[in-house]
Amino acid sequence: MTLDGKVTIITGATSGIGEAAARLFAQHGARLVLGARRKDRLDDIVAEVRDTSGEATALAGDVTDERYAAALVDTASSRFGGLDIGFNNAGIVGTLCDVTAMTAEDWQTTLHTNLTGAFYGAKHQIPAMRARGGGSVVFTSSFVGYTIGFPGMAAYAASKAGLIGMTQCLAVEHGPDRIRVNALLPGGTRTPMAGDFSSDPAAAEAIAQLHALKRMAEPEEIARAALFLASDAASFVTGSAMLVDGGNSIAKAS
């Protein structure tokens, strides 16, 4: 699953799955353009990659701004000569509450970050990949809204389910361009975004029991699945909703 010389954008790169992917992709030869809101943390990760003889640069910004999506691609082109891979990973859980209590602002914030932000990424990444003769787009979706529904997570579920629909349409539209498009569906993962689900022992154990493996994933485990989808090892994989969920979807009893 080598990425030797492949120019790769990773959003949400300062924590969790995105941070793990930045390290892993660099180890496998990718030339990285890292995106997130925290410039100081981005700079730290870029320095770490360079210290291990990797190639990386970063641009801080907000994925809900289309100009930022365009700027990431421009950075890839100006720094590394083009773009081969887009790992659109940035996302939020959003406000957790019943739909009847949810404000329109809370709804829009979650969808705009998770779904519209990914749309902006793909919109600007695909033309750059087409110019290179092909590429790979990966979205971080979720098992929530696909195999399981959790109370209070309607906005999150809708945004992540929307990514799967967009994945399928983009895969069909751009297959002739030799551009593969896939959605990655992690199970419960120990990341800062998971909040109490991963930091509180009782909550973490409850989530672990939802999985056939009876544990939550480490970010590096999900990053390895993203590496597969991004690499030529997945050369005949497109339009997929790839579960990396520790058997969450089939564990209906403890």
DSSP state of 245: S
Q: How far apart are the first and last CA of the chain?
A: 35
Query: Do residues 217 and 239 lie in contact, with contact meaning Cβ atoms separated by under 8 Å?
Result: no
What positions carry a catalytic annotation? 156
pLDDT(105) > 60? yes
Weakest-pLDDT range from 76-80, 106-110, 188-192: 188-192
pLDDT(198) > 60? no
pLDDT, one tens digit per residue, over 211-244 is 999 999 999 999 999 999 999 999 999 999 999 9
The predicted structure's pLDDT at residue 242: 98
pLDDT(1) > 90? no
Structure tokens at 23: 């390290």
Tallying the residues shown for the chain, one arrives at 254
- Residue 230: phi, psi to the nearest 5? -75, -30
Residue 52 neighbours by CB under 8 Å, 6+ apart: 26, 27
Which residues are paired to 88 by β-bridges? 139
Query: Do residues 125 and 135 lie in contact, with contact meaning Cβ atoms separated by under 8 Å?
Result: yes
Domains of the chain (ranges, CATH numbers)? 7-250 (3.40.50.720)
pLDDT, one tens digit per residue, over 119-156 is 999 999 999 999 999 999 999 999 999 999 999 999 99
Among 81, 71, 70, 74, residue whose Cα is nearest residue 31 = 81
pLDDT, one tens digit per residue, over 25-58 is 999 999 999 999 999 999 999 999 999 999 999 9
The predicted structure's pLDDT at residue 147: 93
Q: How far apart are CA 92 and CA 100, in angstroms?
A: 20
pLDDT(254) > 80? no
